[in-house]
Structure 1
């Protein structure tokens, strides 16, 4: 449309006329505006005057209501036109409602999870960045909670992805109900959620919310055919006073989450600097262990004798790994073996221990050698062939080797691993179930796989003379082993009372501090020489 220098309409097109809902003839010569709100009308009047005076074009966006009452986003362009020395204002109005709607939808999708409608990881990062940026002029406490639904793949595999999606939506709604207006709930990954707590939360507030969430998780999730129970782990980090970035806040939250997962299911953990110290220490230890595995000298073996009950003769030794690092010193087996299993270094460690033990014990022809095998080693595709290859390379008879495996590792073994055990046993290698009785399918394992020995766990042996139930279990296992023609080894024997009971209960072999602690091969040689001399003098 075109207005003269007194802002009277001199021309408008059909679209403009339709918008006004009046014929052009009635509008020409009138001072009319599309914009009926006083502020908008005043703003457009100022721009008209500005364009007439300066000749500069103006472009701005406005919102107006069309004749049907619908609000629309429009782009208003104004420019000056001179006709026969007189100035006019040319105004064009473009409807950009669809564009703005699309942009809004794109922005929404970019910051929200499509499935649950919750803010997503991008939105969480933006909010954390804003909080970190405002710390300089408005330091306030906040809490970030990172949550992870445990074993969620099981739900998808068992009930289907549609059921899994339904649980994610229900869980997100439950979290919103728990948090209310005190924070923001986001879905930041497949089975990962987050909560930012505002309104100056304290550690106590965050702790109480965590407990409420755990109570909430006791309620089964509603599905058409099932009501599955879910477990959760979450890490909590308090922040706001320190000068830290959004990335550092997330890192601390993930550190706390990892700690919670290591504690078990339905657990939560607060971030502290001690967790970082532990993580750094762990990384240092992993690097040091890898370096020690690659060279000679740091890793060694000690051996604990296993005696035959009827004559107390040493017939076998159990090889145990020891690690003495140049900087870290003597590292506890509890620490480095668990770390080796977690990182996969146990494959290399296991082979080194087997080789070392074969070399140390080979010349003690009267002794068998017991080696512990982890679930990680058992799961290796070349586990069996590799054992036999090492024995051949070290010229150690397979019939003198006994592999000790825990109930859990055997129970979780796949068909390939079980076939490896069968082939090893066919080659002469003996198989022993370690920590027997601590699992929940001990008896069925004895039926399902062929073994030569069972080791009664030290937790039973410790109280065998004090607790009737423990004594009954040991007696029952011993009797069962004898009937199945298995060696029954009691480990952790520390005193004569325990020894007497175990022998009378039918344990065929004994192991423990009562007889000897784990010792280096040189000390073992002395012990065996002394034993032989004593036997010869009888």
Structure 2
């Protein structure tokens, strides 16, 4: 049997397949560790990365479906779904500390922010073991609403991370607008070091800028010893990348119940239009 490749499908087909996977509980979390520079065997936490199992049992990484879902206005559905799954994992593993990505598309809608905050407050007992990673792949249209949400979430015990810092719309001013605990330097800065001395200089300066605002600076995309040495020289406190650990499937990913927040989230999205 020839299994169609999702990478060869048009955007609308990918979106439809992703929505089906969400409604049928075929989205799960893979984990990748964030490692201490002084002891790479010690984890600060594990970032939860969305994975989709298609109709043929093939597992797809986030890059195959998340950008298309975001483009179609469906980011909030995925974000809420992942947050609920992560709370399930935190409940089953009392020592786990996990990170959940939240899209700027989601945080741009006050109604979506309210739904997310409801979930966090409902699971307040586990909030201190949750890191919310804000991924600004799009501009925040209602920054005040996002700031209020992050402030309220932080008050429950969550820590806040700015993801992919230095790329996209994650501007340095964001560090002044919101109380942030962690900054994650975009992997593009790490990968530039193989192109010469200027790459090392860029990494050094972006890490230094982040370190002025937060105590924890994570360098992403660490895939080689050279990457790791450059990150250490730049002053990173933590590292993330394939050199240290690859994403691994969650122990619970075969037992997730289908979670369907679609109706509430679609209704919230319509209020914004």
TM over 0.5: yes
Deviation at 1:439, TM superposition (A): 4.4
- In 2, the alpha carbon distance for the partners of 1:444 and 1:281 equals 37
Alpha-carbon displacement from aligned partner over 1:269-321 (angstroms, at most 9, x marks no partner): xxxxxxxxx9984333333322222223x211100011111222012011111
Deviation at 1:421, TM superposition (A): 1.8
**Alpha-carbon distance change, 362 to 420 in structure 1, aligned in 2, over 3 angstroms:** same
Give the counterpart of 2:14 among 257, 273, 285.
285
Aligned partners of 2:100 and 2:131 also within 8 Å: yes
Matched, 1:481 2:215: no
Q: Could you state the TM-score of these two structures normalised by the residue count of structure 1?
A: 0.42
**Alpha-carbon distance change, 481 to 281 in structure 1, aligned in 2, over 3 angstroms:** closer
Q: 2:4 aligns to what?
A: none
Give the counterpart of 2:189 among 460, 465, 473.
460
Give the secondary structure class of the aligned counterpart of 2:100: strand
- In 2, the alpha carbon distance for the partners of 1:386 and 1:414 equals 17
Matched, 1:299 2:16: no
- In 1, the alpha carbon distance for the partners of 2:206 and 2:83 equals 29
Matched, 1:353 2:82: yes
Structure showing greater radius of gyration is 1
Q: 1:336 aligns to what?
A: 65
Q: 1:8 aligns to what?
A: none
**Alpha-carbon distance change, 367 to 506 in structure 1, aligned in 2, over 3 angstroms:** farther
Q: 2:231 aligns to what?
A: 502
Aligned partners of 1:317 and 1:370 also within 8 Å: yes
Which sections of structure 2, spanning at least 5 residues, go unmatched? 1-6, 253-273
Query: Aligned ranges for residues 14-413 of structure 1 at < 5 Å?
Result: 281-296=10-25, 298-312=26-40, 313-327=42-56, 329-394=58-123, 396-407=125-136, 409=138, 412-413=141-142
The count of corresponding residues between Structure 1 and Structure 2 is 246
Of residues 503-512 and 383-392 in structure 1, the stretch that sits farther from structure 2 once superposed is 383-392
Give the counterpart of 1:427 among 129, 153, 156.
156
Aligned partners of 2:99 and 2:130 also within 8 Å: yes
Matched, 1:511 2:243: no
Q: Which of structure 1's runs of 4+ aligned residues deviate more than 6 A? A: none
Tell me: higher relative CO, structure 1 or 2? Use CA pairs within 8 A at least 6 residues apart.
2
Give the counterpart of 2:200 among 459, 471, 476.
471
Q: 1:446 aligns to what?
A: 175
- In 2, the alpha carbon distance for the partners of 1:417 and 1:288 equals 29
Give the secondary structure class of the aligned counterpart of 1:442: coil
**Alpha-carbon distance change, 345 to 311 in structure 1, aligned in 2, over 3 angstroms:** same
- In 2, the alpha carbon distance for the partners of 1:447 and 1:381 equals 21
**Alpha-carbon distance change, 466 to 343 in structure 1, aligned in 2, over 3 angstroms:** closer
**Alpha-carbon distance change, 383 to 491 in structure 1, aligned in 2, over 3 angstroms:** same
- In 1, the alpha carbon distance for the partners of 2:125 and 2:48 equals 15
Of residues 309-318 and 456-465 in structure 1, the stretch that sits farther from structure 2 once superposed is 456-465
- In 2, the alpha carbon distance for the partners of 1:302 and 1:346 equals 18
Deviation at 1:495, TM superposition (A): 1.5
- In 2, the alpha carbon distance for the partners of 1:432 and 1:375 equals 13
Alpha-carbon displacement from aligned partner over 1:470-508 (angstroms, at most 9, x marks no partner): 212222232333333431000110122221221232101
Give the secondary structure class of the aligned counterpart of 2:110: coil
- In 1, the alpha carbon distance for the partners of 2:169 and 2:23 equals 38
Which sections of structure 1, spanning at least 5 residues, go unmatched? 1-277, 524-538
Alpha-carbon displacement from aligned partner over 1:58-103 (angstroms, at most 9, x marks no partner): xxxxxxxxxxxxxxxxxxxxxxxxxxxxxxxxxxxxxxxxxxxxxx
- In 2, the alpha carbon distance for the partners of 1:280 and 1:455 equals 32
Q: Could you state the TM-score of these two structures normalised by the residue count of structure 2?
A: 0.78
- In 2, the alpha carbon distance for the partners of 1:503 and 1:334 equals 28
Q: 1:493 aligns to what?
A: 222
**Alpha-carbon distance change, 472 to 381 in structure 1, aligned in 2, over 3 angstroms:** same
